[in-house]
Chain A
Amino acid sequence: MNNYESHRQEKLAKEHIARKKRFIYQIALWLSIIVGIGLIVGGMIYFVSRQNPALINSSATIESAFASDDWIKGNKDAKTILIEYSDFQCPACAFYYPLLKKISEEFGDNLAIVYRHFPLPNHQGAKPMAYAAEAAGKQGKFWEMHDMIFDNQSKWVAQSQSKIKDIAVEYAKSLELNIEQFEKDFGSKEIEQKVEGHYRDGIKAGINSTPTFFLNGQMLQSPRNYDELRNIIIQAIDENF
């Protein structure tokens, strides 16, 4: 009987230890899972938010000089030239649009900003809007149209291609353009070829997304925010002095 009792107690003690071990094991496991997930999420936050160390992609370059029909904002004789390949329908381009405005205001005569077209094939409204901006440019209001298109991007982006032209004409009216001339230029071969030419040059330069920036001919890995863009421009201006 005594033997049986001690045997039973021994068994209970063993079970107790085993249960304790299991408990510790469980806690250790869940703690390491929580820490592991925390590390993964933390790592991703670091990866997404870190400042880009190599902003310049030296393997992709483009001719830095202006073409005669380029749209230039700022000082045409500036030594620092920022070329943007952009798509009017791209939300990321609309995101950069106010940043570039601010850049242009901040750097004034020290910088020339060039706008070139890169209408992505999956954006049906990008080409018509590029034509609209060019047609407005024929009447000296390229940048005004450019601003209007980006300001209203969310309003026209869901419209069908045929409606987009009507919307462009509305914008032309509000800019007090000659509508007859605007419509003629909008459908002209010359403008179509210009936009197509920009796109082809962009492809040749290795562009695969918009917006893509070239600073003095060298492609930038998309700067993530205003400060990144600003710092790299300051650097380029300093180098040119």
Chain B
Amino acid sequence: MKISKTLIIIFLAASFIGFLDAAYLTIQHYLGVVPPCAITGGCATVLTSAYQKIFGIQVALLGAIYYLALFLLTIAYLTSGRKALIFLAALATPIGFIASLWFVCLQLFVIKAICFYCMISALTSTTLFVVGIMIIINYRKPMLTKTAAQNNITK
């Protein structure tokens, strides 16, 4: 059974948008640009808070690497047709989802400021998680219904 094309395209798009978003924040940070404090949001507060780093590494940089890895795995799946690749990417999505959930909670309850860019990232990682779960279900189905031999033939 083939994994739905729509799912793959959503997965590809979400990881790409997530990458652009995180890469932008990473670049801003390493070039020493300080975001101004806007009336509508608290990017400066969030991005300069103590929570912007984990083990001394920029959260935005980790995010950019995560999204890029998912994006490349999806491309690799599309060109090779190896389902294990997209399955691996789908398995990684809970990590991004839990991290995003954690950062949204931090913004709401601890830092008490909302950053637009971080919210975009929360949205993309949630999309990736939902689609990832669907891909896993899609991937498992043929295994459950067909014998291994049949599965090999369909490959």
* Chain A residues with a Cβ under 8 A of chain B: 26, 29, 33, 37, 40-41, 44-45, 48-49, 87, 89-93, 95-96, 120-124, 208-212, 222, 224-225
* Chain B residues with a Cβ under 8 A of chain A: 20, 23-24, 27-28, 31-42, 44-45, 48, 68, 72, 75, 79, 112-113
Q: Which residues of B contact A95 (CB under 8 A)?
A: 34
A209 touches B36 (CB 8 A): yes
B34 touches A92 (CB 8 A): yes
A210 touches B36 (CB 8 A): yes
Instruction: Knowing that A122-B41, A209-B39, A211-B36 touch, tell me 16 more A-B residue pairs with CB under 8 angstroms.
Output: A26-B79, A37-B68, A44-B27, A45-B27, A90-B37, A91-B34, A91-B48, A92-B34, A92-B36, A120-B37, A122-B39, A123-B37, A123-B45, A212-B36, A224-B33, A225-B32
Cα–Cα, bound, A211→B35 (Å): 10
Please indicate which of the listed interface residues A90, A124, A211 has the most CB atoms of chain B within 10 Å of its own CB.
A90
Cα–Cα, bound, A37→B48 (Å): 27
Q: Which residues of B contact A212 (CB under 8 A)?
A: 36
**Given known contacts A91-B34, A209-B36, is B42 in contact with A122 (CB within 8 Å)?**
yes
Q: Which residues of A contact B42 (CB under 8 A)?
A: 122
Q: Which residues of A contact B20 (CB under 8 A)?
A: 40, 44
Q: Which residues of B contact A26 (CB under 8 A)?
A: 79
Cα–Cα, bound, A225→B28 (Å): 13
Q: Which residues of B contact A92 (CB under 8 A)?
A: 34-37, 44
Please indicate which of the listed interface residues A29, A95, A208, A224 has the most CB atoms of chain B within 10 Å of its own CB.
A95
B45 touches A48 (CB 8 A): no
Cα–Cα, bound, A194→B37 (Å): 22
A91 touches B79 (CB 8 A): no
A106 to chain B, nearest CB (A): 20
B65 to chain A, nearest CB (A): 12
Pick the contact of B23: A29, A44, A87 (CB < 8 A).
A44
**Given known contacts A48-B28, A91-B44, is B37 in contact with A29 (CB within 8 Å)?**
no
Task: Please name 28 pairs of A and B residues whose Cβ atoms are closer than 8 Å in the assembled complex, sorted by A.
Answer: A26-B79, A40-B23, A44-B20, A45-B27, A45-B31, A48-B27, A48-B28, A48-B31, A48-B33, A90-B36, A90-B44, A91-B34, A91-B37, A91-B44, A91-B45, A91-B48, A92-B35, A95-B34, A120-B38, A122-B39, A122-B41, A122-B112, A208-B38, A208-B39, A208-B40, A210-B36, A211-B36, A212-B36
